[in-house]
Amino acid sequence: MLRKIFAITVCAGMFPVLGATAAPSKKTECHADSPMIACVDGGAVQGAKQGSTLAFKGIPYAQAPVGALRWKPPITDVHWDGVRDGSQYGAMCPQVVDGKVEGSEDCLFINVWRPEQKPKRLLPVMIWLTGGGNHQYSGAGSPGFGGVVYNGEKLVPEGVVVVTYNLRLNALGFLAHPALDAERPEKISGNYGSLDQVAMLKWVHRNITAFGGDPDRVFLFGSSAGGGNICALITSPKTRGLIDGAAMESPVPTGCEIPTLQDVENDTGKNLVHALGCDTAGDVAACLRGKSAAEVVGAIPGKFTVLPRTYGPNLDGVLFKEQPIKAIAEKRAPAIPVIVGNTAGETVAWADTAGKVTDQASYESAIDRVFGQKSRDKILAVYPASNYATPRAAFAQVTTDAEFTCQTHRVAMAFAKAQKQPVFRYFFNHVMENDPALKAVGAAHTAEHPFLFNWQGKYKPDERDLMVQRFMVGYWARMAKNGNPNGGDAPAWQAVSPKNDGFLEISTHPQMKLSATNGHCDFWDTIPFVWPHV
């Protein structure tokens, strides 16, 4: 396959003042000049030094989805005059931060980190898809879990190019309703955030050589909603040839399954339109677009919970034609190297979101609410509250095993049975000891995040933390580069196979373990999955 010739480029002519704004316009001619400036689809962008990297931030990959473009597929025809300043993040997409809606709808920006010195050969590309339930933490210019700043400073020195980006979130990114169906020739709605992700991937494929990245080696890694989005994206017909490997960390929704268009229209869609007072309007779509972003986002904010998530991809028959897990199992998804896993105590922080669990009665009630009364007695027999420190601890273990540990096992085995490309499963079980609050929570949901990025919050990592970080950065970067995480002095990580469903326990001393040692996964295979309504 012919590849693009690598060149750092600038636009012809004298450079205007940095800070040019993006708008649809005629594309300007570009040619090579300064190593600090790259030329992409939209024009020239100047990078800035960040640690040992050169960072290019706030690059528009689509037009602002405002006004008539709200709840429409992204328009990628976007250009600017002059040289765009790439030293600052673009605005984050509207989301609830500390109880207030913050951000701007003009938020579809992408960020790239490459080595400070121009690479002599094209490097693998690692794209981070952050979590946040598809309603918060869009990944670029957003606050991030626990103060983590998602950038390429730690990974780029391993010989990769790193990308982060924003996508539309919450109701602005995933609202589905018949009034919006009527506007599309396909008669579908929702998935606007997912369409942003497809646009981002296509932007990377067209432009990443300008930063020394290889468009034929694109590795997605993401957590929580980001992990679940990866599972959907790799099975979509719209992303063929754009993804070459993936790491799904604590992926949500569970088991690479997503609700149908009808599910979300009849649930969150119906409820949100009612909450905004648009259900009785003569033109529902116009009424919705007449609301401010703050009104739309604040009407039904997403929550972090053991119950089903409010926002995310839906099975619309076009972007997502079938359940991702079915496409994987029946070999209709591309075969790519995969990492999949989760943390040891995923739901510790959310254990009261199905009702405060304080005793046997509230424990049983919480199980009823999440899993249904028909499964309650079976679950109680395997997870008696008396086996745990508290009923709340028992419920946290039940939901961690059911919604994460055994779902990542299920997904890993589906890949392993369907493809020859390697599949690696992990179980993150390291506790940050240097902070009493973090130590008490343990290896909770997203606990692995700072181990792939720089420590930039108040937490001061100790030698054990730094050792785990060295292992994780090495494993993930080698997976992106070679399709195999093994190498260096890291403990061996064996691939999953139909006859070997073991996993790597990631801690100060990573080691392989048998699947039978965690999760009661054989038991959870007998509990039917039901997609409850929000």
Q: List, by residue number, the catalytic residues.
A: 224, 346, 445
SS (H, E, C) 329-340: HCCCCCCCCEEE
As to burial, measured by CB atoms within 10 angstroms (0-12 exposed, 13-18 middle, 19+ buried), residue 2 is: exposed
Amino acid at 277: G
169: its two tokens: 């979130």
**Helices 360-371 & 391-400, crossing angle to 10 degrees?**
20
Alpha-carbon 348 to chain mean position: 21
Element (H, E) at 124: strand 123-129
Distance CA 194, CA 216 (A): 21
SS3 state of residue 324? helix
- Backbone phi and psi for residue 96, each to the nearest 5 degrees, phi listed first: -85, 125
Give, in order, the Cα–Cα distances in Å from 138 to each of 208, 301, 459: 21, 15, 22
Give the end-to-end CA distance of the chain in Å, rounded to a whole number: 47
Give the closest residue to 110 by CA, choosing from 239, 28, 204.
204
In terms of DSSP bridges, do strands 100-102 and 95-97 run parallel, antiparallel, or are they unpaired? antiparallel
Distance CA 385, CA 257 (A): 29
120: its two tokens: 């002599």
143: its two tokens: 């606050």
Length of the chain counted residue by residue: 534
Please check whether residue 81 is in contact with residue 20, taking contact to mean a CB–CB distance below 8 angstroms: yes
* Angle 167-170-533 from CA coordinates, rounded to 5°: 135
Distance CA 131, CA 142 (A): 11
Distance CA 476, CA 128 (A): 12
Give, in order, the Cα–Cα distances in Å from 248 to each of 123, 244, 303: 21, 13, 21
Give the closest residue to 40 by CA, choosing from 211, 266, 289.
211
* Angle 454-457-463 from CA coordinates, rounded to 5°: 60
**Helices 192-207 & 225-234, crossing angle to 10 degrees?**
70
- For the beta carbon of residue 489, count every other beta carbon within 10 angstroms: 7
- The DSSP code for 458 is S
Amino acid at 346: E
